[in-house]
A and B are shown apart, each in its own frame.
Chain A
Amino acid sequence: MKIENLLLIQRGVLKLIKQPSAPLMGFGMSLFFLLVYNAGIGGIGSMEVFGKGGYLSFVFPIVIISLAMGSSAGAGQTLNADMQSGYFRRLYLSPVPRWILVASPIIADTLSSLFFTIILITIGAVSGVVFQFGIFSVFGVLLLSLLWALTLCSFSAGIMLRTGQHQTAAIITNSVFPLLFLSTTFLPRELITAEWLLYASWGNPVTYILEGNRYLLGGTSTAGFFYTGLLILSFATICSLSFALASAKKIKI
């Protein structure tokens, strides 16, 4: 990769370090979920259906997923700040490919999300989350997180570029949030009694990401969910990145 492109990514990362509100909000939300869910419902963890990992390993994927949801607005906010200050126009006039101007804050945001995922995994491991395939489980969780973060950050940046309003960068979080609760979030399928929720969870892509993670952690799910989740996320990542890069052409300079 060209040094100029790396400099722009580095700038994006430094921006997040200097103004860490978005990633910290995501991290805080994840930690809160981890504490509250485990403290509130953790008592049912002894049930056989939660496997050897107990309820903590079962609920841990929610913590990972909500991290990217909470911090995905960062790329959009960085782009918006540059556009408001006029600095984006100066970057636009630099001899760098224009796609990297949009991609660099997305990459920075994704890297930040991965960084906090690693912290969460460490906290999880210390607290007793089971990684059934050891280091391979960790890599698997990181891969799913990477694609999930990339998808959300790209959508958030694309929407902001098209609307020009930083508030809209949070739209993606708000629209994905209900999907978390239309899934096997708190209980496995076997214990969900409402039939409509069961149907909704089958059609909900978040279910496959959750269950894919659960396969890697406590082993309460099957490998099929992991591969389906990977496929869904790969497709979503391609779509959202294309959307963000195409949105770069809609910018009014």
Chain B
Amino acid sequence: MEAIIQIKNLCKTYSNGTEALKGISLEIQSGQFFALLGPNGAGKSTLVKIITTLISKDSGEFYIQGSNTETNSLKIQKIIGVASQENEIDPAETVENLMVFQGRLFGMSKKEAIERAGWLIEAFGLTNVKSQKAGILSGGNKRRLHCALALVHNPKILFLDEPTVGMDPVARSEFWKIIKGLNIKGVTVFLTTQYLEEVDKHASAMSLISEGQILYSGTISNFKTMVNGGNNSSLEESYLQYLEIISKQ
């Protein structure tokens, strides 16, 4: 497997003096289901925002599929899909129009965009509300639409930042089925979440970030072994135990 995301010594300090990232280095392999874990304020969202070209870094380098993000941001935006923490939907537009428009913005023909939107609307269980304005959808449906929009252009890398917040269990299960299906087809998934059971169930590799530094990078099974010697514990138990150990040091 080749590295699809390469990050070297990435640093970011906000204008208020908060040092969000302190020399992060990370490699994510193509087709991997990767999870970035860490407590609130650890630097997860900052890292995702930099990788997805939303904000700029102070120093360091990072490449997506070999392309430098500073010189090739448009190329990178074409291959990534982002579903961030907050919903990013135009409340005045209908579900169908938003999906088609998103596809068109990514260079799809009208026919392609309509077909792709139709498939995603069905896959995400939005068929009954496709003609409704996004602003009047239920919280769960807004979240489904938000995630579906990130997939319209068939991204090679999918960034999911707390994607299932606000979804009911059925929607959550359906959502993971779609994401797993995409991952099996070769889409790299970069997930940040506080629902560790979802990570345990779906991801294969993880990194743990705290106070802007990577504390662990590797497989989930190795992490569990490292923390409690291979006992059959959940990721959540291992994670909490590890944070406790770190806080005592």
A residues with a Cβ closer than 8 A to B are: 3-4, 7-8, 11, 15, 18-19, 81-82, 85-87, 89-97, 253
B residues with a Cβ closer than 8 A to A are: 49, 52-55, 74-75, 77-78, 80, 82, 84, 86-92, 101-102, 104-107, 149
Q: Is the Cβ of A93 less than 8 Å from the Cβ of B53?
A: yes
Provide the residues of chain A in CB contact with B78, threshold 8 Å. Answer: 95
Partner of B90, one of A4, A85, A93, A95: A85
Contacts A18-B92, A93-B82 hold; do A86 and B74 have CB atoms under 8 A apart?
no
Q: Could you jot down 28 A-B contacts, CB within 8 Å?
A: A3-B107, A4-B104, A4-B107, A8-B105, A11-B101, A15-B92, A81-B92, A85-B88, A85-B91, A86-B86, A86-B88, A86-B89, A87-B88, A89-B84, A89-B86, A89-B88, A90-B149, A91-B105, A93-B52, A93-B53, A93-B77, A94-B106, A95-B106, A96-B74, A96-B105, A253-B49, A253-B54, A253-B55
Closest B residue by C-beta to A19: B92
Q: Is the Cβ of B101 less than 8 Å from the Cβ of A7?
A: yes
Q: Is the Cβ of A93 less than 8 Å from the Cβ of B149?
A: no
Alpha-carbon gap, A175 to B18, bound state (A)? 38
Provide the residues of chain B in CB contact with A19, threshold 8 Å. Answer: 92
Contacts A18-B92, A87-B90 hold; do A93 and B54 have CB atoms under 8 A apart?
yes
5 tightest A-B CB contacts, nearest first: A90-B88, A95-B77, A86-B88, A87-B90, A94-B105
Interface majority SS (helix, strand, loop, mixed), chain A:
helix
Q: Is the Cβ of B77 less than 8 Å from the Cβ of A94?
A: yes
CB distance from B189 to the nearest CB of A (A): 17
CB distance from A170 to the nearest CB of B (A): 21
Alpha-carbon gap, A82 to B92, bound state (A)? 10
Identify 11 new A-B residue pairs, CB closer than 8 A, beyond the known A7-B104, A82-B90.
Answer: A4-B105, A4-B107, A7-B105, A86-B87, A86-B88, A86-B89, A87-B89, A90-B149, A93-B53, A93-B80, A96-B74
Partner of B54, one of A82, A87, A89: A89
CB distance from A17 to the nearest CB of B (A): 12
CB distance from B76 to the nearest CB of A (A): 8
Provide the residues of chain A in CB contact with B77, threshold 8 Å. Answer: 93-95
Closest A residue by C-beta to B92: A18
CB distance from B113 to the nearest CB of A (A): 10
Alpha-carbon gap, A110 to B229, bound state (A)? 67
CB distance from B24 to the nearest CB of A (A): 20
CB distance from A105 to the nearest CB of B (A): 13
Contacts A93-B54, A93-B77, A95-B78 hold; do A85 and B89 have CB atoms under 8 A apart?
yes
Chain A CB within 10 Å, residue with most, of B88, B91, B106, B107: B88
Alpha-carbon gap, A85 to B86, bound state (A)? 9
CB distance from A243 to the nearest CB of B (A): 21
Q: Is the Cβ of A97 less than 8 Å from the Cβ of B88?
A: no
Provide the residues of chain B in CB contact with A15, threshold 8 Å. Answer: 92
Alpha-carbon gap, A11 to B100, bound state (A)? 13
Closest B residue by C-beta to A81: B92
Chain B CB within 10 Å, residue with most, of A19, A81, A86, A253: A86
Chain A CB within 10 Å, residue with most, of B49, B89, B104: B104
Alpha-carbon gap, A8 to B105, bound state (A)? 8
Alpha-carbon gap, A92 to B84, bound state (A)? 13
Provide the residues of chain A in CB contact with B86, threshold 8 Å. Answer: 86, 89
CB distance from B162 to the nearest CB of A (A): 14
Alpha-carbon gap, A94 to B53, bound state (A)? 10
Closest B residue by C-beta to A5: B105
